[in-house]
Every structure is written in C-alpha cells, then in structure tokens.
Chain A
Amino acid sequence: MSDSVSRRDFIKAATVAVGGVISLVLGIPAVGYLIDPALRASGKGGWMPIGKLEDIPIGMPSPFSFTSVQVNGWERTSTTHSGFVLRKSEDPKDMLILNSRCTHLGCTVNWKADADAYLCPCHDAKFSKDGKVLDGPPPRPLDTYTDFRVSEDGILEILFKAG
C-alpha cells in the first residue's frame, strides 16, 4: 500500500481538504463581519461654509454656526458648533476665527461689546477679543479655526476636523 492510497485514507484527506476550504470560506466573512466597525473611517469633517465674506463686518466679532453630522451604524447625530469671526482688515486672510466653546467646561461664550470681551455664563470666564483668558477658570485661550478659505463665490469656509 505504499504507492496507492487506500479508499479510507483518500476519504479522510478529502474530508479534511473540503472541510478546510469550507471553514476558510465561512471564517473570513465571519471575522470580517465582527471587526467591520473598527475598519471604518471615523467622521471625516470637511469644509464648512459659515457665511458671505462681504457680510462679515470688519473690526468686531461676528457670530456664526454650522452643523456637523456623525454617522454611527444606522444612527446620525448632528452637532451644532458655533464661533466668532473677527476680521481685522479688508484682507481676506487677515482674520481670527474663534470657537465659542469655553475651554473650561464647554459652555458657549457670548460677545459683550460693552465689556469688549467674551463672557462665559457658567463660571464668569472672560476672554479678550482675540481669545486670550482675561479672568476666570479657563486653562487656555479659546480654540481657533486656523484653516479657512474663501470660495470663488465669496463664501468663507472653515476646515472642520471631526473628533
């Protein structure tokens, strides 16, 4: 029986081979199915239009807001973000865009022209026109949107990074 395979051994080998192919064909989809959410790119963010450049006054903070959408499985969560644009001159590059989320605990700060400062309603934090901490508990200045551009039809857009 050295040069010929017995029927029993052939059946055994064939069973192992077919079984191996079947478990591979089923195993790969099974693993792919389980780890799929981990392989998905998380929210990408993108360029968000926040207003016509010509409508934004020069020299004083002007509020804006936009909404981002995060998709998790079959659920879509919208979050509203807000901030202030401060145009310092006619130059469309010469501006400061602040996130109005207080760096202390995340309340929304408001611009108070008579105080010449952003005030946070929660713990009396006070930020200067360019976002520096003047008073109160915040650990750092207001966050800024550093990537912005003006589209061909004059719309100011900022780059929103998710997460």
Chain B
Amino acid sequence: MWKKIYEWLDERFGLNDMYKNMLDRPEPRGTWWNTLGSASLFLFVMQGLTGIFLTVYYTPSPDHAYDSVQYIMNGVAFGWLIRGIHHWGASLMVLVVFIHMLRVFVTASFKYPRELTWLIGIGLFISTLGMGFTGYLLPWHQMAYWATTVGTQIAGSVPFLGEFILKVLRGGPDLSALTLQRFFAAHIWIFPGILAALIGAHLYLIIKHGESSYPGKDE
C-alpha cells in the first residue's frame, strides 16, 4: 500500500529524481572539514526553530522585553532549554560558518566554476553576523543595551554618512523602543529572509557544480 502511495507521489513530484540529484550525487573523498557547510545549515534550521519558539513569549518592547526573557528563563517549562540552545547556538553558528569559510579559502574551493558560491557565502557570513548583532540587543539588559550603543556608534564613525547610518540603525539619534523594534524585525524577518534566499542559491550551486575535490597524486 505504501509503495503504491509512494509511486503515485513520485510520478507527480519526481521524488526519485530529486533524491538522485540532490542527495545521491557523487562526492569526492572528503574530510570532516567538508561537513561544516551541512553543520551551518543544521544550525540555521535549529536557530530558526528555537527562535520561532522564543517569539511565543518574547515581547520586543522596552517595558516587557527584559521581563519576558526572565519569564522564559524561570517561568516557562523548558524555556531555559529553548533559549539556551538559541543563545549558545548563535555563537556556535558564527564560529562554524567562519571555519567553513576558512576551509573553503584554504582549499581554494572558491576558484572556477565556484566563484559565485563563494560570493554568496560571503553574503551568508555577513548575514550571520547581522543575526548575531541584532539578536544581542533583544534581551534588553545592561550588556545588550551598551553593546548596541557602542556597536551603532562604531557604524556612526563612518566619514560623512556616519550620522545618517547611526540614525537608520537606531531609528533615531538614541537607543529607544524604535531601536528594539527594528532590531527585532531585522532579526526575525529581514536577515532570516536574506539567509534563506542565499542558502537556496548556495545549495543549488553546490548541487550544480558538485563539491571541489583535492587533487590526486597524479594530477
């Protein structure tokens, strides 16, 4: 029975072709270093899921942000676990994405025909840092507040445009409810959207070109 259902779906979706092209493609003999891209993807999905769960209780307003985070940590069942995973996963993701990038650089995997994969990867790395920067403010405690004060000041030190950039980031001259709200929007909509789109392109290119391989002894 299951076989019939599967065949019916396969005829319409092309599940077998999808499996062959996406997962059953030939792989060069790799090392553990080649798994860091998959690890990054896993972390992205995990951060996405725990992030969605956090928004069930988190409130991005200066009046409630801190209290709602305290409530997640101390009041909600397993809230400490969900936020713990999101918190540590964030640092881990920046680390893993960065090491993945280093590996691609060291093995020169960015060369023809994979230049675009590399460029999109740079976008992915910057967006990951953007996620870290915007997420850091959301607990709205002293460390978050002052880290964002300093971080936006650094962006504000750009010649000529600095003040404008600072105001765009903060939603005004000072850190306020507007800052918290726009950081929240960037953190849950804008950056995840960019990341998802870039990840799609990144994966497509990897499937299209295959993974780069180390040269053999006789090459």
A interface residues, Cβ below 8 angstroms from B: 29-30, 32-34, 36-37, 39, 73-75
What is the chain B residue whose CB lies nearest that of A71? B75
Neighbouring B residues of A36 by C-beta, 8 Å: 76-79
B57 at interface, CB cutoff 8 A: yes
Contact B76 A74 (CB under 8 A): no
The proximity string for B residues 42-80 relative to A, scoring 1 for CB distances below 8 Å and 0 otherwise, is 000000000001001100000010011011000111110
**Interface residue SS majority, chain A:** helix
Cα A37 to Cα B78 in complex, Å, equals 12
| A32 contact from B64, B67, B75, B77, Cβ within 8 A | B77
Q: Which of B87-109 contact A (CB under 8 A)?
A: none
Contact B81 A29 (CB under 8 A): yes
Decide yes or no: A29 and B82 within 8 Å by CB, A34-B53, A34-B56 being known contacts: yes
Contact B78 A32 (CB under 8 A): yes
Neighbouring B residues of A39 by C-beta, 8 Å: 77
Contact A74 B82 (CB under 8 A): no
Cα A33 to Cα B79 in complex, Å, equals 6
Cα A32 to Cα B81 in complex, Å, equals 11
Contact B67 A29 (CB under 8 A): no
Decide yes or no: A74 and B67 within 8 Å by CB, A33-B82, A34-B53, A34-B56 being known contacts: yes
Minimum-distance CB pairs A-B, first 10? A29-B78, A74-B67, A74-B71, A32-B77, A36-B77, A33-B78, A36-B76, A32-B78, A29-B81, A73-B71
Some 30 contacts from A to B, beta carbons below 8 A apart, are A29-B78, A29-B81, A29-B82, A30-B78, A30-B82, A32-B77, A32-B78, A33-B53, A33-B56, A33-B76, A33-B77, A33-B79, A33-B81, A33-B82, A34-B53, A34-B56, A36-B77, A36-B78, A36-B79, A37-B76, A39-B77, A73-B57, A73-B71, A74-B64, A74-B67, A74-B68, A74-B70, A74-B71, A74-B75, A75-B67
Cα A34 to Cα B67 in complex, Å, equals 18
Cα A34 to Cα B78 in complex, Å, equals 9
Cα A74 to Cα B53 in complex, Å, equals 17
Beyond the given pairs A29-B82, A74-B68, 7 more chain A to chain B contacts, judged by CB atoms under 8 angstroms and listed by A's residue number, are A29-B78, A29-B81, A30-B82, A33-B56, A34-B53, A36-B79, A73-B71
Cα A12 to Cα B76 in complex, Å, equals 36
Cα A75 to Cα B75 in complex, Å, equals 12
Q: Measured between C-beta atoms, what is the minimum distance from A125 to chain B in Å? A: 39
Q: Measured between C-beta atoms, what is the minimum distance from B194 to chain A in Å? A: 26
Neighbouring A residues of B77 by C-beta, 8 Å: 29, 32-33, 36, 39
Q: Measured between C-beta atoms, what is the minimum distance from A17 to chain B in Å? A: 19
| B53 contact from A30, A73, A75, Cβ within 8 A | A30
Contact A73 B56 (CB under 8 A): no
Q: Measured between C-beta atoms, what is the minimum distance from B173 to chain A in Å? A: 30
What is the chain B residue whose CB lies nearest that of A29? B78
Neighbouring A residues of B57 by C-beta, 8 Å: 73
What is the chain B residue whose CB lies nearest that of A33? B78
Cα A75 to Cα B64 in complex, Å, equals 9
Cα A32 to Cα B78 in complex, Å, equals 7
Count chain A CB atoms within 10 A of each CB in B53, B68, B71, B78 and give the residue with the most. Answer: B78
Neighbouring A residues of B75 by C-beta, 8 Å: 73-74
Neighbouring B residues of A34 by C-beta, 8 Å: 53, 56
